[in-house]
């Protein structure tokens, strides 16, 4: 623990010195991360280190780092993958799942769990879901990204109703055809429309599948707002006789959900308009 406390002191000192000297936070954080050999720490220590760093960062510094994250990991990465797509005809789509978690942590100041795979996305038990429209055309030229809530047990399925928060991130193109990313924070305990639809879905599909004892998983799917529009609602249901009625689930201007982040690409640069 002494080593961690010394590391916390180092983080405070470097952050203060950088701030007082007018140093860009990108440079300051580069110094700090190069000093910390993260692979030498266990999962709990990694979460403590990240929580410390997120706690000392100001909102303007977090916005600057969020800008850097999107420029490096999305804008520049897409350009690099496009180069290889021309050569190989393979997809140039990037995996935005983990980028989404980094971005949500920067916005909320809530650290992750320091690991991949199973476990909570954020250390407070919240869930992060991402949907990526970018470079994801199928053979018919359509895109159908979605937010998937997969459950392999009844308990996991029911937990959806109790998450501290669900963060829904969408990466798509705005009305001008430029890259855009938005994050909505959803409180399912207060979002009546989403909560009632999920309970209906559990009764019709979820519980019967788990009762069959065939070890089947279930998946509640929400479709994000359409690409190249200013829609601010998710969608569920296809209107078919064997499915659910079509439902628009508001993500803004309603109790239980709010837009907490928006960034758009302008001339190759990320401009954050909501943080």
Residue 15 · residue 56 · CB < 8 Å: yes
- Element spanning 63, H or E: helix 59-70
Residues 6+ apart with CB under 8 A from 209: 216, 218
The confidence score (pLDDT) of residue 98 equals 86
Measured CA distances, 245 to 171, 197, 237, 238 (Å): 26, 10, 5, 6
For residue 133, the SS3 value is: coil
The confidence score (pLDDT) of residue 115 equals 60
The confidence score (pLDDT) of residue 91 equals 74
- Element spanning 147, H or E: strand 147-151
Residue 181 · residue 169 · CB < 8 Å: yes
User: DSSP for 96-126?
Assistant: -HHHHHHHHHHHH-----SSSSSS-SSTTS-
The pTM assigned to this predicted structure is 0.91
Best CA proximity match to 272, nearest among 54, 55, 69: 69
Per the listing, tokens 């795979």 go with: 117
Per-residue pLDDT of the chain (275 residues; tens, 9 = 90+): 558 999 999 999 999 999 999 999 999 999 999 999 888 899 999 999 999 999 999 999 999 999 999 999 999 998 898 898 899 888 777 778 889 999 999 999 999 986 655 567 999 999 999 999 886 555 554 567 999 999 999 999 999 999 999 999 999 999 999 999 999 999 999 999 999 999 999 999 999 999 987 778 999 999 999 999 999 999 999 888 778 999 999 999 999 999 999 999 999 899 999 99
Residues 6+ apart with CB under 8 A from 104: 110, 121, 122, 128, 167, 169, 183
d(CA 77, CA 97): 14
The confidence score (pLDDT) of residue 140 equals 55
The confidence score (pLDDT) of residue 106 equals 98
């Amino acid at each position: 623990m002494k080593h961690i406390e010394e590391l916390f002191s180092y983080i405070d000192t470097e952050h203060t010195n950088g701030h007082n000297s007018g140093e860009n936070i990108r440079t300051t954080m580069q110094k700090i991360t190069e000093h910390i050999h993260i692979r030498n720490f266990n999962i709990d220590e990694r979460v403590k280190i990240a929580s410390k760093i997120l706690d000392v960062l100001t909102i303007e510094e977090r916005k600057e780092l969020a800008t850097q994250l999107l420029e490096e990991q999305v804008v520049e990465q897409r350009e690099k993958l496009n180069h290889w797509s021309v050569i190989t005809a393979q997809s140039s789509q990037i995996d935005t799942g983990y980028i989404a978690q980094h971005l949500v942590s920067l916005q909320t100041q809530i650290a992750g769990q320091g690991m991949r795979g199973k476990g909570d996305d954020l250390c407070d038990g919240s869930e992060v879901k991402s949907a990526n429209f970018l470079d994801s055309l199928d053979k018919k030229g359509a895109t159908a990204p979605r937010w998937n809530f997969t459950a392999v047990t009844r308990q996991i399925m029911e937990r959806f109703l109790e998450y501290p928060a669900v963060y829904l991130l969408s990466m798509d193109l705005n009305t001008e055809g430029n890259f855009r990313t938005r994050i909505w924070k959803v409180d399912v305990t207060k979002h009546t429309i989403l909560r009632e639809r999920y309970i209906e879905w559990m009764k019709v599909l979820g519980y019967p599948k788990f009762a069959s004892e065939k070890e089947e998983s279930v998946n509640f799917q929400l479709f994000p707002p359409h690409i190249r529009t200013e829609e601010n609602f998710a969608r569920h249901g296809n209107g078919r006789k064997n499915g659910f009625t079509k439902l628009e689930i508001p993500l803004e201007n309603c109790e239980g959900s709010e837009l907490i982040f928006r960034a758009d690409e302008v001339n190759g640069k990320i401009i954050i308009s909501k943080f």
